[in-house]
Structure 1
Amino acid sequence: MKNIFPLIIVAISFLFGACTQQEEKVVNLYTHRHYDVDKMIFEKFQKETGIKVNVVSASADELITKIKQEGELSPADLLITVDAGKIERAKQDGLLQSANSDVLNQQILAPYRDSENYWFGISSRARIIAVSKSYENPESLTYGDLASDAWQGKVLMRSSDNIYNQSLVAAIIGNVGEDSAMKWVAAVHGNLARDPKGNDRDQVRAIAAGEGEITVVNSYYIGKMANSDQENDRNAIEKVNFVFPSDANLNTHVNISAAGLLKHAPNKENAVKLLEFITRADNQELIYTENQEYPVNTLKPAEQFFTPVGEFEIDDLPLSELGAHQNKAVSFFEKAGWM
């Protein structure tokens, strides 16, 4: 079965590709995103342009493997990831092509797109600190503080296979070097209140329940909890402060969902049109209001879905460097025993 399975995947993909090479206007999207707002935007795009969006969903690693297996006959036009490091990996693996579009360059700020136009951010999110309101000076907190002895037995974290924490550590490597980053990972692991588990929202819920006192969480999850129909989630965030950390070593880490035009895209023009549509101002606003992700046409959103502590100063490490340091970050988790 191990030898047959890749062939099955390729065969299905070829069939998909053959079906789309008709007169019907289409764009074929491979995406790691799974949000309702994306469906809303795709339906809106089809209504305005007549171009149908075909979607294949899986993790970025699975999709990258699939694209490699399909080779030149891949039906995929665009790859969307939820992490800058993953889309940079696709670029380095030779899977993308440059998409020269004045519209994209005007609509997306330079820090959120590849300098050679191989990939473009479509939304962003900050990796912020969440801390119990029992802590008196939240505005002073930095990422480095999570490694302090003062937080021993109080830190809550997701498992090491979480791409958001991998990219945070990659950013730490890029800013302060490998030795300091390894020490940070080991110290934070030593401060854990429990074995890593759950998603970002689970960490906030655990703080509210008194299982720990501090964690890191993506900003848009806080917006989701604030707007949740679950009273427990709305009550949980009332017991937690949310901090934009900043110090001389590392300002607030920001990551993106990003899209890249694939090297063998059969519907290149339609794919670029979809990218331009997603990053259009009205659709960026839709992503913000419906999914609480930050737009890529500004570095500082005018308002938040929560009351933050501290100034939102963004880490200026190029997002392409996250991909360069992710493998090293994973090895640090393994060395520390952070599973």
Structure 2
Amino acid sequence: MRFLIPALAAATALTACSQSAPSGEESEARSVNLYTARHYSSDEAVYADFTAATGIEVNVLQASGDQLIERVRVDGERSPADIILTVDAARLHRAEEAGLFAVSDFSNIDGIAANMVDPDGHWVAFASRARVIAYSNDRVEAGEITSYADLADPRWEGRICVRSSGNVYNQSLLAGLIAHEGEEAAEAWAAAIAANLARAPQGGDRDQLRGIAAGECDVAITNHYYYAMMARSNDEADRAVAAASTLVFPNQETTGTHVNISGAGIAANAPNAEEARIFIEYLLSADSQRKFAEMTNEFPVIADSQWDNDVLAGMLPFTADDIAIDVLGENNAAAQRVFDRVDWP
């Protein structure tokens, strides 16, 4: 695997040695306890391949990000968690603030951008998703929208679909705006979006795309991979929804498009810390990065990863915001306060 880093290569070699041990010698079974907020088939495939490559079994506990954080926090030193894996910078920040991560050195991972690694060594990203704008092919002209700021224009009044302010993806988008432009400018933008809503926020990102296809709104804010899921779906209705809109990767001439992550860190009280490190490194291997791109439609975080996904490839190239991901988590509380002040539902 092209991006297999030394620790994983060594672990694989050790596994191979143990399998060829003299008759009568039994190698000790190894396992890792994964607490994950993800629920994708790509991840299950990665787990199976990881075990096949290393001999390390993966025990999975799955729940929402906030539930996982609370579970590990309450269990304290008794927690069996080896790895905490979740989506969005805000949740990673909450886990970090609760003291749930061990300090690790992820600096030896080749090909990953510096902003994708926590500067204090608590977590590392392994997949990314862009927060983009979709517009109706029938009711919006190409070029009308090129930035997030464009959505604040009064001409979009009654035309925007977006999830609620309680959604962590929206919170991180606003956290990024706060970092770039300050809280006052971010609040003005959020107030304008709230005034331009076509309907009260409802559902997930795919529901915003369905709103465009149904004529309920002309523009929506969504994560890119939800659009890709629908465009590549076996369901004809989902493909029709995707075909009704076009994506814009905003802010290409300024800060770049807002990007968030899925990330993982070793738990502070991990009973199997070495196995946890090997697993996290495997998430960044060439084969795992390929699976995230092909099966989940996420962008790999390792430069020059190879994968086959025409819809995803069609979104490239674009300039991503290179803001440090940990800043998004740090600004989450401020973003929530802004949403409350402007009455974004």
Q: TM-score by structure 2 length?
A: 0.86
Mapped contact 2:42–2:295 kept (Cα < 8 A): yes
Residue equivalent to 1:45: 50
1:320 maps to which of 315, 323, 326: 326
Question: Against the structure 1 CA distance between its residues 294 and 89, is the aligned structure 2 distance closer, same or farther, given a 3 Å change threshold?
Answer: same
Matches within 5 A, 1:131-170: 131-133=135-137, 134-138=139-143, 140-170=145-175
**Quick one: which amino acid aligns to residue 132 of structure 2?**
I
Structure 2: state its 5+ residue gaps: 1-27
Deviation at 1:66, TM superposition (A): 1.3
Matched residue type, 1:215: A
Q: Distance in 2 between matches of 1:203 and 1:335?
A: 24
What amino acid maps onto 2:322 in structure 1? D
Are 1:172 and 1:250, in contact at CA under 8 Å, matched by a contact in 2? no
Partner residue, 1:283: 288
Paired residue secondary structure (1:79):
strand
Cα separation, 2, equivalents of 1:267 and 1:300: 29
- Return the letter of the residue paired with 1:267: N
Q: Root-mean-square deviation (CA), in Å?
A: 2.2
- Change in CA separation of 1:310 and 1:265 when aligned onto 2, cut-off 3 Å: closer
Question: How many equivalent residue pairs?
Answer: 317
Contact 2:33–2:81 at 8 Å: present in 1 too? yes
Counterpart Cα distance in 1 of 2:336 and 2:305: 30
Deviation readout 1:166-188 (Å, 9 max, x if unpaired): 11011111110100111111110
| Cα deviation digits, residues 44-94 of structure 1 (max 9, x gap) | 111221111111111221111111111111100111111122212322332
The 8 Å contact of residues 80 and 259 in structure 1, kept in 2 or not, is answered as yes
Structure 1 residue 329 corresponds to structure 2 residue 330:
no
1:139–1:155: structure 2 CA closer, same or farther, 3 Å change rule?
Answer: closer
Distance 1:174 1:274 in 2: 33
**1:185: which partner in 2?**
190
1:5 aligned residue: none
Distance 1:310 1:38 in 2: 24
Matches within 5 A, 1:1-339: 23-101=28-106, 103=108, 105-133=109-137, 134-138=139-143, 140-246=145-251, 250-298=255-303, 305=311, 312-339=318-345
Rounded to whole Å, the distance in 1 between the matches of 2:77 and 2:132 is 41
1:154 partner letter: R
Q: Secondary structure at the match of 2:80?
A: coil
For residue 299 of structure 2, give the secondary structure of its aligned residue in structure 1. Answer: coil
Q: Contact 2:205 / 2:226 at 8 angstroms: preserved in 1? A: yes
Q: Name stretches of at least 5 consecutive residues in structure 1 with no aligned partner.
A: 1-22
Give 1:140 shift: 4.4
Aligned to 2:129, the other structure's residue is in SS state strand
How far did 1:116 drift? Answer: 3.0
Opposite residue 134 of structure 2, the aligned amino acid is A
Cα distance, 1:308 vs. partner?
A: 6.0
CA distance in 1, matches of 2:149, 2:63: 34
**Residues 290 and 306 of structure 2 are in contact (CA less than 8 Å); yes or no, is this contact kept in structure 1?**
no
Work out the CA distance in 1 between the residues paired with 2:304 and 2:135. 24
SS of corresponding position for 1:106: coil
- Report the residue type matching 2:202 in the other structure: K
